[in-house]
Structure 1
Amino acid sequence: MKVLVLGGTGYLGSAIVSALHQSGHDAVVASRNPRAGDRFADLGDPASLAATVTPDIDAVVHAAAADADWDVQADGVRALLHALPGRPLVYTSGVWVLGATSEPVDETAEVRPIALVSGRPAIERLVLDGGGVVIRPGVLHGGGRGLVELLDGRYVGAATTTWPMVHVDDAARLFVTALERAKPGTLLHAVAEPGIRVVDLATARGGSAKPWANASTDLGSAFAEALALSQVVTAPAARALGWEPCERSALANAVAPAGPVR
């Protein structure tokens, strides 16, 4: 299978490219700053997205982080779906669309998005109604990158906050599994550990945990709200497809980060 990966040079995108290669597929990278051999794609320009979907492309993975507004992002997804009749689109969302959870929630839960991802449920619906697949990764870790590295021994919000976690390489393998096995209109959670206390992550990373008192000022209020979001999220639909996370736990990576993502 020849798969176009939008955002294929990013944290998750580069892991997806590696996972595709390891599974015997051909990955074509598209980004706003293409390297030699890559294709150009700008999420703020829907026409450029459609232009990347040449007849030789069998599927598209949308793993690009966007700074365009939600309406433009939605137009981009429409352009991709229009360019992909009969071929799958796998769209990267995230568990933050679920909002705070007091009990474990799975793929059937209602969405209650926080401000940072307010427009994402509408895009999820576009993808699902168009026969695509939506994957919601938990908080990514691994490769010496991710939000645990950003915290650097601090935490935002309550000391009881928990994050649903997944190693970036495990998440990437779910994208391959989805391309190979998921039916059109499937929603999947890429979550290996349903709820890990952020205080424990901060302690493991920095030797002690301290509140990030100025997080809203330092990071912006919307991002600080996301870091303070407490969730417990499960992934039964992904497990039913045969996805089995096998990488190091979030706490193990916080204690001794592994090498960089390939």
Structure 2
Amino acid sequence: MTSHTDINGRGRRDQEEVAQVRVFITGASGWIGSAVVDELLAHGHQVIGLARSDASAASIEAKGAEVLRGDLDTLDVIRAGSEAADAVVHLANKHDWANQAETNRAERAAVQTIGDALVGTGKPFLVAAGVAGLTPGRAVTEADPNPSHGPDAPRGGTENLALEFADRGVVPVSLRFAPTVHGDRDHGFIALIADADRRAGTAAYVGDGEQRWAAVHVQDAARAVRLALEQASPGLIVHVVAEEGVPTRAIAEAIGAFEGLPVASVDPAAAQEHFGFIGMFFGMDLSAESSRTHEVLGWTPTGPTLLEDIAAGAYRA
């Protein structure tokens, strides 16, 4: 492959010369995972998708990918999938907001298992992470380390755990996703906010609504994951972020305009009463820069913006 030097001194590969690889993906039938499977298959890669249900298995198989039955608790299956592939993309998470301790435990165990399976192989290991809470008061950059370590940290401290495998013959890459990976029928955070607004009869924002949320369209996110896989280097941190920060008041106004709801502020103390658990996040500034990612990967997002998706009915009831 032809190599080029990027702004961080890493080698970039000509896209037309990228080798086709066999990729094991956890969360392959999820919102982001489904788009990543499509993207990888469209570019000639082979995919093994972890599936915990008959419906997930059917969805993965229908795309033309191989199915491996299991979940985050079947660590022997996760290890086997990792060993059988040329690279691993870990996207699955239990997201049990009522039992964060269990979510963190399962996440850490899965990442540890994958990392151990790849020791000494030089295989890429891409792990999902986030931008939330890393640098309160300013937009987080790719150069900012994650201050969370250990099993009790958010996501079980798995971003740092995965990056530690760079010293053990693995090529770990952190995929820091924007808090909203949006698109038609997205069922993530913005969908929860829109549902709460419909129940309350008011499209709300917290406080002055100046908090900003980073955002990326799901197809742009899938392309960033593929490029990160194809250009993986040990310790690479990728910000899967197209918009640095959309004001939460603008998000509320877009939901209100589409749903025909009045728009109003809610006191931070009442945010969870209106929104449920997501209220604690909607009152936070979750902005992030991604200029280094754009330069390193040669990635230019082209999808609709978050406000355009809301206006087009992506979060309709």
2:32 partner SS:
helix
Contact 1:99 / 1:231 at 8 angstroms: preserved in 2?
no
- The counterpart of 1:59, out of the listed 87, 91, 108, is 87
Amino acid at match of 2:144: A
Q: Which runs of 5+ in 2 are unaligned?
A: 1-20, 62-66, 97-101, 167-171, 198-202
Question: Could you say which residue in structure 2 is the equivalent of 1:96?
Answer: 132
Any idea what SS the aligned residue of 1:120 has?
A: helix
Distance 1:244 1:121 in 2: 31
Could you tell which deviates more after superposition, 40-49 or 189-198?
40-49
Pairing 1:216–2:304 present: no
Bigger CA radius of gyration: 2
How many residues get paired?
254
Contact kept? 1:97, 1:111, Cα under 8 Å: no
Match of 2:302 in 1: 246
- CA deviations on 1:196-230 (whole Å, 9 max, x unpaired) are 01221221122143346765247654x32122211
Equivalent runs, 1:49-198 vs 2, <5 Å: 49-55=78-84, 57-66=85-94, 67=96, 68-84=102-118, 85-98=121-134, 100-101=136-137, 103-111=138-146, 118-120=153-155, 122-131=157-166, 132-138=172-178, 139-145=180-186, 146-152=188-194, 154-158=203-207, 159-198=209-248
Confirm or deny: 8 A CA contact 2:206 2:271 kept in the other structure.
no
Alpha-carbon distance change, 71 to 225 in structure 1, aligned in 2, over 3 angstroms: same
**What's the CA shift for 1:194?**
0.4
- The superposition leaves residues 45-103 of structure 1 with CA deviations (integer Å, 9 ceiling, x where unpaired) of 43331122243x111111112243423322221111122232111001111142533x3
Percent identity over the alignment? 29
2:64 corresponds to which residue?
Answer: none
Compute the RMSD of aligned alpha carbons.
Answer: 2.5
TM-score normalised by the chain length of structure 2: 0.72
Render the CA deviation track for 1:110-162: whole Å, top value 9, x for unaligned. 4466xxx9333721111112131011111211122133232225345222121
Matched to 1:174, the amino acid is A
Kindly indicate whether residue 35 of structure 2 is the aligned counterpart of residue 35 of structure 1.
no
Structure 1's consecutive aligned runs of 4 or more residues displaced over 4 angstroms after TM superposition are 211-215, 217-221
Looking at both structures, which has the greater relative contact order when contacts are Cα pairs under 8 Å and sequence separation is at least 6? 1
